[in-house]
A and B are shown apart, each in its own frame.
Chain A
Amino acid sequence: MEVELRVSRDEFQRIRQDRKAIEKRFYELEKLEKTLRVLKLRYLLEHRDSLKKKLEEMKHHYEELVEFENKAKKDKMLLFEIRRELSYENAEFRQQLKVRMDEDSGET
């Protein structure tokens, strides 16, 4: 059985030079286990911290969105009311203008 591994040119040079030390390292299983344990721990800590950060950001955006929804709902009611008032007032003004124009044409 054979396992093949490709490395960069620099890494290959290092491996060639450290060949003797590497051969010993294959048998240092306790050190390997400790290393893998620490690397996994670091990964889990980083992952947890990034999730915490993402969750905080998401909560903040969600709160902003809820706030915006409340504002937009209130504004919608206000805009409906303004439209109703203006439509009514404009209709009234048009009527007044019509009466005035009719009076003016009656005078002439």
Chain B
Amino acid sequence: MKIVVRPESGWRKVTFNIPDEVFERISELGERYGFRMDRVLRIILLGGFIEDEESGDFEELEKEIDSLERELYELEGKWSPLKFKTYYIAMDNQNLAIQISGLIAENKRLRKMLGKEDKDYSEIERLIHYYMGFESYE
């Protein structure tokens, strides 16, 4: 097998000739560990061999990843409808807040005209302000 290496631009090249069975073996290793051939060749060409020992159980890690992905998928499935539902509750509250705001203005005016005592609306107004400013949440 001939491996031809060229720069991104230019006509020069470097050629390596390796026996087909060696190339086959390299290709098998790439497949076994999930690496594309060009990535494996780059490791060989650019001297990226790792000398350190690192241990770990692939199977165990893959199981853990599967389980985490499943959990994430389930949570995402619950998240979207809840977000949709909550958004519409908040929008209902915004509409109610607009209506109440008008009713409070009327109530204040009527109280004044009738000479009645002012009422403290601060708590309600805080709630109105909260939902009036509501646009969306992330």
Which residues of A are at the interface with B, using a C-beta cutoff of 8 A?
Answer: 1-9, 11-12, 14-16, 18-19, 21-23, 25-29, 31-42, 44-45, 47-48, 51-52, 54-55, 58-59, 61-62, 65-66, 68-69, 72-73, 75-76, 78-80, 82-83, 86-87, 89-90, 93-94, 96-97, 100
CA distance A42 to B50 in the complex (A): 12
**Does A86 contact B100, Cβ atoms closer than 8 Å?**
yes
The B interface is mostly helix, strand or loop, or mixed, namely helix
Q: How many chain B residues touch A (Cβ–Cβ < 8 Å)?
A: 78
Known pairs A15-B46, A79-B100 / 4 extra A-B pairs, C-beta < 8 Å: A5-B45, A15-B5, A26-B22, A80-B96
The docked-state distance in angstroms from the alpha carbon of A77 to that of B103 is: 17
* Nearest chain B residue, comparing its CB with the CB of A69: B86
Alpha-carbon distance between A42 and B37 when the two chains are bound, in angstroms: 19
Given contacts A26-B16, A66-B82, contact A87 B2 (CB under 8 A): no
**Docked complex: B12-33 residues within 8 A CB-CB of A:** 12, 14, 16, 18, 20, 22, 25-26, 29-30, 32-33
Q: Do A44 and B65 contact each other (CB < 8 Å), given the known contacts A12-B12, A75-B127?
A: yes
